[in-house]
Copies of this chain bind each other. A is one copy, B any other.
Amino acid sequence: MATQKSTRPPAPAAERPHPDATRRSQRSRQAIYDAALALVGEVGYPKTTIEGIAARAGVGKQTIYRWWSSKADVLLEAFLDLGEQAAGQEAYAIPDTGDLAADLKAVLRATVDELRDPRFETPSRALAAEGVVNEQLGREFVAKLLEPSLQLYVDRLRAAQEAGQVRPDIDPRIALELFVSPLAQRWLQHTGPFSHAYTDTLVDYALHGLAPR
């Protein structure tokens, strides 16, 4: 996949029939991102309207419709932009102390905390929900937000395989789902409590299996 990372806009979906992107107002773009995230946080996703975003951003509605195809699309890019801005600070990787179980538990505990941060929770939920029903957006959501994070688990598990802590015939992309997916489902669907104890348990079960040894 050839990415055109030389031009600055952070991957503008490319499929939509864009007007001249070089004339685009960065000022408006940022104002729209800010307004969208703020509104979703304040009144929730369903009550966030394009008109509302435009008004709050001090922007004409057409400026939104010119560059995005839907409310969900705006929010997705706003969220991606938020992530990019945050990206500089964090070194996004799973620690490798040699103790796989401890490393996974630490990361999952951190994830639990992050998912509880209301700053992220409302827009994430909104996007996830929209992705469930709108396949195109869902795939974009997964590709741009989910997969990059999951890849970190793949890397860590492969390192564990080389260190002999994970069976060599295991597919890491599937293995990671044993603890990531349960966490995701509890968060998304409220199917159960959402705690550090829970994620610790998941890691233990996943690593050692349910069957007696």
Contacts and interface: CB of A to CB of B under 8 A. Distances in A.
Interface stretch (A12-20, A76-84, A134-142): A134-142
Contact of A166 (B45, B142, B202, B212): B212
Copies of this chain held together in the complex: 4
Contact of A184 (B125, B126, B130, B181): B181
B178 A210 contact: yes
A191 B44 CA distance: 25
Interface residues of A, number: 53
Say what secondary structure dominates the interface of chain A.
helix
Contacts of A207: 209-211
B133 A167 contact: no
Contacts of A133: 44-46, 125-126, 129
A35 to B, nearest CB: 20
A44 B138 CA distance: 15
A166 B181 CA distance: 21
A174 B45 contact: no
A146 interface: yes
Interface centre among A130, A141, A191 (most CB of B within 10 A): A191
20 contacts: A44-B133, A125-B133, A129-B130, A132-B189, A135-B190, A139-B190, A147-B191, A150-B191, A167-B212, A170-B210, A174-B182, A174-B198, A178-B205, A181-B182, A181-B184, A181-B185, A206-B209, A208-B209, A208-B211, A209-B211
